[in-house]
Chain A
Amino acid sequence: MIVIAGNTVQPDSVGEYAPGGVEKAILDQLAANGNNTYDSVDQLKFELTLRKEIMEASKQLYRSGMGFEIFRETRCNPDYWKRTEEGGFLLKSGVKPSKAIMDIYENGSKYGTECATAMMIVYYKALLTVFGDTLFDKTFPKIELMNWHHIDPLLREVGYIVKRDVYLPGDRRYFANPDVDPLVPQWQGENVIDLGGDQYYGHGIGIRSAEQIIRALNQNRSEDADEEAHLLDSAGRPNFKRLYGISRRAAA
């Protein structure tokens, strides 16, 4: 059910979204599952747009040529980022955040990191597209990319992963591999973005179906494994309403 300003609405009344499109699919799922409340139509539309851009940013990052590296061996373009002792990337002072995020997409081969940090890069790129350079630079003057840690308070919720009424394209999901071979702890699980239609983007693993990701994880289990890799019944999401508030105040 979709409730806007206290009134239940039908997906078709939200806006002109093409049948078969991402936004329409998300609207239909929201209408059919749980109680999804919004203050305004624009607030809902913002979520649809940001979800679509999260998916788009995932596909672009996949094509960017960014390498997969464990934290101890991460690399970044020193023109924009300083590699931290932990293996994260810290925005250099004097550098525009929007330029630094775009550099990851334009010079992907200069970067290498693991799957969780890639998710953070996806979120920043999606917000850059939705906000535009000026608002993005003003909103995120300091960025540290290090899996779910040192996250900007505005994006804190993406680090939490909890059970949801419905799982939607643009969600952050996690495939766990409890019996991973201890020699390769980087295969303990895969952070992914749900692209809809049983397709997921995971950095290092690519765009794959759930079954393909589970198969890849299972191939990296210990000899005496007795538990299969599996998709967790939970998801991480940004606080869409708070981010919409920033966007609306900037437009006013």
Chain B
Amino acid sequence: MERSAIKMNSGNNGSTGYLDRIRRARGANFCKNTLLRTERGNRQTAVRLINDDRLLFATLFVLQPEIRERGLYRELSGRNRTALNICQKIMSAKYPSDGTGSEISLKSEEVHSAMLWMLNTGAADDGLSSDFDQVLDITASVLVKTHHEKTVLPVMADLIFRRNRRGVYNHDMVWAFFQARDPQSLRLLASRLRSPSRKDVELARLLLNIPENTPLNTNRDKQKQYEDYLAWLDENSPYVYFTGESLQLTNAPCVCGVNQEAKYLCKDISPRYNRPLTPLTEEELANLEQFHEAKGEEQAVLATFSSSLHSQNQSSWSQWMQYPVGRQIDIAKYGRRELV
């Protein structure tokens, strides 16, 4: 299950290049020596091996010094050159520029495409080195924040939980994941509530802000919490907004909340700005004024009843919304016989 998302999105159908197989079977140094030996014998063959469409990002990453040393950069494919430029840009704060073109715009489609390849084929080699992992983190955050790319969220979720199991740093990847501000992405975390790994379950609980005392010990407990969470998400997803809270801010981030006003009006909101996607009508503004007259707990009751009724019967919902708020509360609490 861990590898499934990575394999699905790798873009090379799981096959690998010659240099990848060498690196995986014999290690990075052997791979580097193989490239150098090949280049000394036949430069074009060496270039062809690196430019193999099936090459994994991790292999290109470890070969960076040899590529520079042998002056192969200019003969690389566009994807490989862009990927190396991205690495250079990410690392530019740490190492002086070597003139391989770190001044690239991260917004370009070329970068978008190269970054998809970097993350999707690089994720399986997470842990290769600190620099490599950092490149994966930043690649993920640029894809999500700059390119609004959501197809990588399953890969990011896999990385978050794999790193957690290994006990290594994952806070930047968690932060990048939530930058997508996509309510549906929460499903990827919720699925880990059913994991046989206690570490997975505990992290999913933390990230979904499920109370600590929630029973999650048996398979039945886990299944119940998973189903409860999905039911909550189904009910609330049009009204979910993201708070921006992160593990850098707190040990118990509340990453998202439900806009009760929007739920009451059955009006979709922007998960980022926590505002309705379309302006409120006069009627909706008047309804909201009524809603504000109710107490906090009653507001929650009204919002839940409203969204439920709206999904079941829009005509009854329209009728109910016409009632004074006191009557709305009574119907919400005690039944809806008054509705036609």
B144: A residues at CB distance < 8 A: 182
Give Cα distance in the complex from A245 to B130, angstroms.
Answer: 43
Assess the A72–B246 pair: CB atoms within 8 A: no
Q: Is the CB of A85 within 8 A of B141?
A: no
Query: Given the interface contacts A73-B130, A87-B169, A147-B248, does A183 sit within 8 Å of B176 by beta carbon?
Result: no
Question: Cα distance A193–B201 when bound, in Å?
Answer: 33
Q: Which residues of A contact B244 (CB under 8 A)?
A: 176, 178
Contact with B along A228-249 (1 / 0, CB 8 A): 0000100010000000000000
Q: Are A185 and B247 in contact (CB under 8 A)?
A: no
On chain B, the number of residues with a Cβ less than 8 Å from chain A's Cβ atoms is: 32
Question: Which residues on A sit within 8 Å (CB–CB) of B146?
Answer: 182, 222
Contact A182 to B249, CB < 8 A, known contacts A85-B166, A85-B167: no
Query: Which residues, 136 to 170 on B, are CB-close (under 8 Å) to A?
Result: 137-138, 141-142, 144-146, 166-169
A17 contacts chain B at the CB level, 8 A cutoff: no
**Closest chain A residue to B105, Cβ basis:** A223
Q: Across the interface, do A188 and B246 meet the contact criterion of CB distance under 8 Å?
A: yes
B142:A182 contact, CB within 8 angstroms: yes
Residues B218-259 near A (CB distance < 8 A): 244, 246-252
Which residues from 251 to 272 on chain B have a C-beta closer than 8 Å to any C-beta of chain A? 251-252
Known A176-B244, A183-B90; judge A72-B169 contact (CB<8 A). yes
The CA of A167 and the CA of B133, in the complex, are separated in Å by: 39
* A159 touching B248, Cβ below 8 Å: no
Among A114, A147, A183, contact of B89 (Cβ-Cβ < 8 Å): A183
Q: Which residue of A lies closest to B92 (CB)?
A: A183
CA A71 to CA B175, docked complex, whole Å: 14
Query: Which residues of chain B are within 8 angstroms of A72 by Cβ–Cβ distance?
Result: 130, 133-134, 169
User: Which residues of B lie under 8 Å from residue A182 when comparing CB positions?
Assistant: 106, 138, 141-142, 144-146, 176, 179
Contact B175 A188 (CB under 8 A): yes
Interface residues of A in 182-200 (CB under 8 A from B): 182-185, 188-189, 191
Within 8 A of B (CB), among A115-163: 115-116, 147-149, 151, 156, 159-161
The answer to whether B133 and A185 touch across the interface, beta carbons within 8 angstroms, is: no
Report the separation of the CA atoms of residues A179 and B146 in the bound assembly, to the nearest whole angstrom: 10
| Choice from A160, A185, A191 contacting B176 with Cβ under 8 Å | A185
List chain B residues, Cβ under 8 A from A87: 169
Interface residue count for A (Cβ, 8 Å)? 33
What residues of B have a CB within 8 angstroms of the CB of A236 in the complex?
A: 250
Shortest distance between the CB of B139 and any CB in chain A (Å): 9
B window 79-127: CB within 8 A of A: 89-90, 93, 106-107
* Interface presence of B171 (CB below 8 A): yes
**0/1 string, B294-312, CB within 8 A of A gives 1:** 0000000000000000000
Alpha-carbon gap, A149 to B206, bound state (A) = 12
B interface footprint on A82-100 (CB within 8 Å = 1, 0 otherwise): 0011110000000000000
Q: Give the one of A72, A114, A160 with max B CB within 10 A.
A: A72
Q: At the interface, yes or no: A80 with Cβ under 8 Å from chain B? A: no
- Kindly provide the distance from the CB of A161 to the nearest chain B CB, expressed in whole angstroms: 5
Q: Which residue of B90, B166, B249 is within 8 Å of A174 (Cβ)?
A: B249
| CA A149 to CA B249, docked complex, whole Å | 11
Pull 23 A–B residue pairs with CB atoms less than 8 Å apart, ordered by A: A71-B169, A71-B171, A85-B167, A85-B168, A85-B169, A147-B171, A148-B248, A149-B247, A159-B250, A159-B251, A161-B249, A176-B249, A178-B244, A182-B106, A182-B142, A182-B144, A182-B145, A182-B176, A183-B142, A185-B176, A189-B248, A189-B249, A191-B248
Q: Which A residues contact B (CB, under 8 angstroms)?
A: 70-73, 84-87, 114-116, 147-149, 151, 156, 159-161, 174, 176, 178, 182-185, 188-189, 191, 222-223, 232, 236
Binding site for A on B (CB under 8 A): 89-90, 93, 106-107, 130, 133-134, 137-138, 141-142, 144-146, 166-169, 171-172, 175-176, 179, 244, 246-252
